[in-house]
């Protein structure tokens, strides 16, 4: 994580590390115009970096701060890098705690059965709030179901316990290791924390 007490060479190395991670995340979403990404991909970059703003925060707060003087549908890398360094340093948009995650799952399980059908989760993730991409949903279900071959249910208390343990170990190592399992697990942690806010 970002060490706000770092000084001198240590601080410079830390900043270079985060710049490299921001650039790597950004490059995943560059399409037609080099050095720019579409506005709608900003929350995906932020989730990749372990930061989970709500849809309203992206629209009303984040995009206005990182757009050029003449707003467009593209975001320049230098604008996003400066903003993300600040977000990481100030620990903004961090994931909520397990209790909040559990409350979010229970909104989808009013009968308190202890599980959610994967079909329900898929529809929810891909059609509400900041939608998941198809591969993100598949990786979420794979992680949450303990790699079951053809899962039909997610037992969410088991998932939360697994994810909490994973996240705690992960955060002890660094901000985020850029690898698909880590990326998807962090993104998965975000989803209910993001979307519960409109319903709790």
Cβ of 23: how many Cβ atoms within 10 Å?
A: 12
Residue 37 pairs with which residues in a beta bridge?
75
- Residue-wise pLDDT for 79-102, tens only, equals 999 999 999 989 898 877 888 888
The owner of tokens 């003449």 is: 70
Bridge pairing between strands 74-76 and 115-117:
unpaired
- Residue-wise pLDDT for 49-83, tens only, equals 888 888 889 999 999 999 998 878 999 999 999 99
Structure tokens at 153: 């249910």
Say if CB 93 and CB 87 are below 8 A apart. Answer: yes
- CA–CA separation, 37 vs 77, rounded Å? 8
Calculate the alpha carbon distances from 16 to 5, 21, 117, 139, 146 in Å: 16, 9, 43, 29, 35
Say if CB 75 and CB 66 are below 8 A apart. Answer: yes
Bridge pairing between strands 115-117 and 153-155:
antiparallel
Say if residue 10 is exposed, middle or buried (CB neighbours under 10 Å; 0-12, 13-18, 19+): exposed
H or E element, residue 116: strand 115-117
- Residue-wise pLDDT for 143-169, tens only, equals 888 878 789 999 999 988 887 777 666
Structure tokens at 169: 């170990």
Prediction pTM value: 0.69
């Amino acid at each position: 994580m970002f060490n706000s007490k770092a000084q001198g060479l240590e601080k410079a190395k830390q900043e270079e590390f985060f710049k490299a991670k921001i650039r790597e995340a950004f490059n995943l979403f560059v399409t037609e115009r080099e050095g720019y990404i579409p506005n709608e991909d900003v929350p995906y970059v932020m989730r990749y970096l372990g930061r989970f703003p709500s849809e309203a925060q992206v629209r009303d707060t984040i995009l206005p701060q990182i757009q050029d003087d003449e707003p467009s549908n593209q975001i320049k890398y230098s604008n996003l890098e400066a903003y993300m360094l600040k977000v990481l340093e100030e620990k903004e948009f961090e994931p909520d705690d397990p209790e909040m995650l559990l409350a979010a799952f229970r909104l989808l399980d009013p009968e308190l059965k202890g599980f959610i059908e994967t079909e329900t989760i898929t529809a929810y993730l891909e059609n509400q709030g900041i939608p998941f991409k198809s591969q993100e949903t598949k990786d979420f279900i794979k992680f949450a179901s303990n790699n079951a071959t053809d899962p039909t249910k997610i037992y969410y208390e088991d998932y939360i316990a697994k994810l909490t343990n994973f996240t705690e170990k992960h955060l002890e190592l660094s901000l985020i290791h850029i690898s698909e399992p880590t990326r998807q697990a962090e993104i998965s942690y975000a989803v209910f924390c993001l979307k519960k806010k409109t319903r709790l």
